[in-house]
Structure 1
């Protein structure tokens, strides 16, 4: 049945991606296809699905898929075929969804609907071709298309392309002189992490087969919409949705319209849990999508914002929250109504944060938001490279040092004074964790990919802030991306006493630490008596508190940080003072023996 789908215990999400927002200005050619271009032709049977094993898994809907099924009826599904209710080996020919076994679940797999209709390629009904390729020509074409349609993915490089073409296909039981044919294509592009789908339409002349009461001569309707072709994506993410039916004139105009200003081309980013359309949605409930969906703790990379239409004349602010608390706010740069970006400052935490785009005059609670993941900086490749970083030249001041980076004049511009390069040191004393500017390498240099400098000792760089990063920022007033080096010792900037005699300096610091530690008293003599049994520790709540990360009910796997333990307890009372003058509680862990 076409229409509303009622709520299910496990729902699927159909993402309808026909944003026909403007008449396209140029017309694209379909990717080359056919056996002469290295394609395999689908067997000329009706309602079949060809299984294709992928050497490199395709990211789709927040998951990785190593198998896809190419159906003659205009569908590409992942992991299993869109099948007949009565025969799971056959591809379902009618474009509708149902609960196969009546258990309240929609069984259809994650699917790309290039043009789901009752296609029939038997006899002279046309052909379906496909290929999985890493040829340089196709990769270059796909990479260029992604760069054109998604400005945010300027550094994307395709590694695998899957081209599926339905060439001059007819519909089931077509009779009469009209003989309408459809030609369309799905191009799946990915690099192992990010993925894109291009839906290309050469010509669409029919929209329904005779089994759904379409005209057997033209493949069109006179009044009803039952069984009309479906275009879009199905993702199993539990979201309550509608089934979509289209006006046949809309479907027939697919080859003349676009969402990327190229006739017949529709481009989408599909690796995440939602589909990113480069054209905005003016509806009040439009969902926010971002790319990339994660960054390192240092921030500095552009987060491109898609989904809602951005008001160019109003200030848009990216608000980052963690645990319900706002941790930072930065103004967004609005490129046009379809696209904006913001560049976050460094984060001092890891995990999932909420990013909300707040328009001037709106309330935070009613603004579009999504999840952004912050990961440890050590897992992210630095965007500034310290040349010969493993040598002693970085240990002392006065040596000639070189840094390099990838040129990005799209972000920074071609000026000879486009960039500023500084060294920031990390501090944890009051008023809290922060990066402090301690050295200006240069306040004006061109974005040419390298810079050489000779540092000098800085009086403000001591043992309290002896680690830091090199930061590169743009000089104009816009909020641009920020480039960072790895976190490293600042021996080349440490105070003069270190430069004069680094061994003596280190010895003095160690002696100071030992003296301070001895002044804290004997740690072991301050410990409370250990409990003799697990039961005693659990019952003596006045002296011991269960460690929530290691408890008996969780088994040994729960206590990952304490190998062999089945339960850990903290002392209920602070019993010693740490080096930074904070009060700590000892930890006791018990094993199964």
Structure 2
């Protein structure tokens, strides 16, 4: 052998023999941890491991898995075959085999292992909570967008000091590595852990008997088994660099590599040089001010990191972010006046370029649970000043001993929607999770801005993280004129509103409003077009059927509102009495009043009468308080916010399959389908946070990953 060749082989061998001898990163394994093990032989596999929950892999769910000695786990059948001409991923079924036919593989190190002389392979399925938590935490490191993932089951397979086929006598070359499969039955991740890699190739693949290198090295990656979908690690089949699996990582823990494997393609995770920006959480309410964790570029402590929201040519907001690690930074979500999915871009060079792009969902304020709970929110204490009120919150959400509590009001004056910091309720309150006070009248609160929220922040840190109350009417802090004589002041405001309505263009509500269901049973059944309203939802009544759940609607049992607004952006609010009949606006002050301004908002939003929920408060709900709750001029409101007669209501139909088979579709079309073949049923579900319709398939419908969707203003599929 030439001297140069000998030196090269020695260098390669030294590079391969990198390991941490105590397996400190390994999950507990061995017989002491109730592991099963393969017999010490060549080309052996475990019996089928019946999975407690199905594990999704490449968008298909599997219920049994096998551990094979040659460094792979396989679904559907064992796979112990290893040949000189080992195929490269992607590979399809082995049509020449009857038992080892499918090649659906997870390959931490697919090499020609031989345990006849040395080594062990251990495996088990476990639900030990400490290990589930550990796996979930390691996944969070590499996948910011999956910070809410919590594993329910693990498959732990360990190859301990295994040798290769054809190793020469007297040589003690061995590999030690581990594969963890973590799943919550909806999503699946794989974690490969490498401790020692002395060899890459068996002699059957032309590796050296005395060094285990050369020839065709081992493969590392994933194979869907269909001949088209696969993922190979960048070091797969590269004998020079396979040793880097021990010392490198994609989640900043040497020797650990994590992958998301349940979708149609494998996500490697970690940071990259260009591509997609990922966020957690994946959505926030319009109020914003939640911590947002981002991943994309490989950040450094010196980077000036910026996150941009909205189109590149017309950005909505730009916020500065703070470095946490190479894999993530944190930002604070700004306040928005719109809903829906918007573009995001990340820069790590002081906003000069934004090479990473992604999306973020903004939802209306009612779709995110309030962090501040008003105690007895429907009591008189929250309607008038000078009465004690109380709020509660989860103190652990604010990581500080002292907090600031303030009140913000919303208005649409001067043609611009805006929030205004109206009153400091307490700027130095202890963070105990409860606060009580007696509100006083504030001169700046009028019917133009008599809707708002309470906010809690860290003391002196109002621009950072905040928790919010629900959006509510601010009678308890309305100006002195209202407090001295609520009825007189409210009647004056109702007169002003009535005059304003009379000067607006005539609204042909008979043609515009969606007709209400005629009775309560129809309203409850028509869940595709109507949903309960917060102020009168009988599902919140409890077992005692307490009528107090229906706020300011005397004699009403339940109310619903249309999910899709009318062509002129109005809403039908339909209320039903205890006889379950529709109560018309013209017949009762508790009737089914419409909204001239839809709670859904009007794209592109960011304008008066176009902001979801908040514009409805200004234009429809505050006038109701003035005219019908405190004033006695509700007849004005009855005229301007009528109910559409239910005579035009078209009740929902069923789709039916019967006989040979015969079909009747949702829209009443009848036809027969007598051909041979496979049929697939599909469900349809509306995602409330985005308004999209999702076909319900093997994976759950989730923001950021709809299985087909249409925008809110499009009808659902037939």
CA contact (8 A) 2:56 2:62 kept: no
State the distance in 1 between where 2:146 and 2:21 align: 23
State the distance in 2 between where 1:50 and 1:248 align: 32
Q: Deviations over 1:318-365 (max 9, x none)?
A: 11115963111111122355432221212333322111113446654x
* 1:132 corresponds to: 126
What displacement does 1:162 show? 0.6
What displacement does 1:170 show? 4.1
Say if 2:336 is the partner of 1:347.
yes
The verdict on how the C-alpha distance between 1:428 and 1:49 changes in structure 2, with shifts beyond 3 A counting, is: farther
The verdict on how the C-alpha distance between 1:240 and 1:58 changes in structure 2, with shifts beyond 3 A counting, is: closer
CA contact (8 A) 1:75 1:111 kept: yes
* 2:112 corresponds to: 118
CA contact (8 A) 2:220 2:236 kept: yes
1:465-476 aligned at under 5 Å gives the runs: 465-475=449-459
* Secondary structure class of the residue paired with 1:459: coil
* 1:356 corresponds to: 345
Higher relative contact order (CA 8 A, sep 6+): 1
* Secondary structure class of the residue paired with 1:402: strand
CA contact (8 A) 2:457 2:467 kept: yes
Question: Of the candidates 360, 366, 370, which is equivalent to residue 372 of structure 1?
Answer: 360
The verdict on how the C-alpha distance between 1:362 and 1:301 changes in structure 2, with shifts beyond 3 A counting, is: closer
* 2:24 corresponds to: 28
Say if 2:175 is the partner of 1:182.
yes
The verdict on how the C-alpha distance between 1:151 and 1:65 changes in structure 2, with shifts beyond 3 A counting, is: closer
Q: Deviations over 1:491-530 (max 9, x none)?
A: 33233344445566656655654554455576459989xx
Question: Of the candidates 467, 474, 483, which is equivalent to residue 490 of structure 1?
Answer: 474
* Secondary structure class of the residue paired with 2:158: strand
State the distance in 1 between where 2:433 and 2:104 align: 43
Q: Deviations over 1:66-88 (max 9, x none)?
A: 646344243457xx55xxxxxx7
* Secondary structure class of the residue paired with 1:325: coil
The verdict on how the C-alpha distance between 1:188 and 1:504 changes in structure 2, with shifts beyond 3 A counting, is: farther
Q: Deviations over 1:383-442 (max 9, x none)?
A: 334344465543433323123124256xx5x4x54x433222233444433322222222
* 2:195 corresponds to: 202
* 2:43 corresponds to: 46
The verdict on how the C-alpha distance between 1:430 and 1:66 changes in structure 2, with shifts beyond 3 A counting, is: farther
Length-normalised TM-score, structure 2: 0.56
Structure 2: runs of 5 or more not aligned: 1-17, 95-100, 513-527, 531-564, 569-594, 598-607, 611-643, 651-666, 670-718
What displacement does 1:300 show? 2.0
State the distance in 1 between where 2:468 and 2:252 align: 36
Count of aligned positions:
502
Q: Deviations over 1:458-483 (max 9, x none)?
A: 22233333332222334567964332
Structure 1: runs of 5 or more not aligned: 1-21, 82-87, 529-559, 563-567, 572-576
* 1:403 corresponds to: 392
* Secondary structure class of the residue paired with 2:448: helix
CA contact (8 A) 2:117 2:163 kept: no
Say if 2:219 is the partner of 1:229.
yes
State the distance in 2 between where 1:297 and 1:526 align: 33
The verdict on how the C-alpha distance between 1:469 and 1:56 changes in structure 2, with shifts beyond 3 A counting, is: farther
State the distance in 1 between where 2:462 and 2:473 align: 31
Say if 2:71 is the partner of 1:74.
yes
166-175 or 269-278, which deviates more: 269-278
1:538-577 aligned at under 5 Å gives the runs: none
State the distance in 1 between where 2:81 and 2:363 align: 43
State the distance in 1 between where 2:30 and 2:159 align: 9
Question: Of the candidates 438, 463, 470, which is equivalent to residue 454 of structure 1?
Answer: 438
* Secondary structure class of the residue paired with 2:475: coil
CA contact (8 A) 2:383 2:475 kept: yes
CA contact (8 A) 1:318 1:332 kept: yes
Output the aligned Cα RMSD. Answer: 5.1
CA contact (8 A) 1:95 1:116 kept: no
Q: Which has the higher strand share?
A: 1
Length-normalised TM-score, structure 1: 0.66
The verdict on how the C-alpha distance between 1:157 and 1:520 changes in structure 2, with shifts beyond 3 A counting, is: closer
Q: Deviations over 1:9-62 (max 9, x none)?
A: xxxxxxxxxxxxx9999973422224543445568883758766655566778x
State the distance in 2 between where 1:488 and 1:569 align: 25
State the distance in 1 between where 2:317 and 2:450 align: 26
CA contact (8 A) 1:24 1:256 kept: no
State the distance in 1 between where 2:428 and 2:146 align: 25
State the distance in 1 between where 2:190 and 2:356 align: 25
State the distance in 1 between where 2:66 and 2:450 align: 58
1:274-285 aligned at under 5 Å gives the runs: 275=267, 277-278=269-270, 280-281=271-272, 283=273, 285=274
State the distance in 2 between where 1:259 and 1:24 align: 18
CA contact (8 A) 1:393 1:401 kept: no
* 1:386 corresponds to: 374
The verdict on how the C-alpha distance between 1:380 and 1:184 changes in structure 2, with shifts beyond 3 A counting, is: farther
The verdict on how the C-alpha distance between 1:525 and 1:150 changes in structure 2, with shifts beyond 3 A counting, is: closer
* 1:423 corresponds to: 407
CA contact (8 A) 1:330 1:342 kept: yes
CA contact (8 A) 2:109 2:218 kept: no
State the distance in 1 between where 2:104 and 2:359 align: 22
Question: Of the candidates 92, 98, 122, which is equivalent to residue 90 of structure 2?
Answer: 98
CA contact (8 A) 1:76 1:113 kept: yes
State the distance in 2 between where 1:581 and 1:362 align: 33
* 2:236 corresponds to: 245
Larger radius of gyration: 2
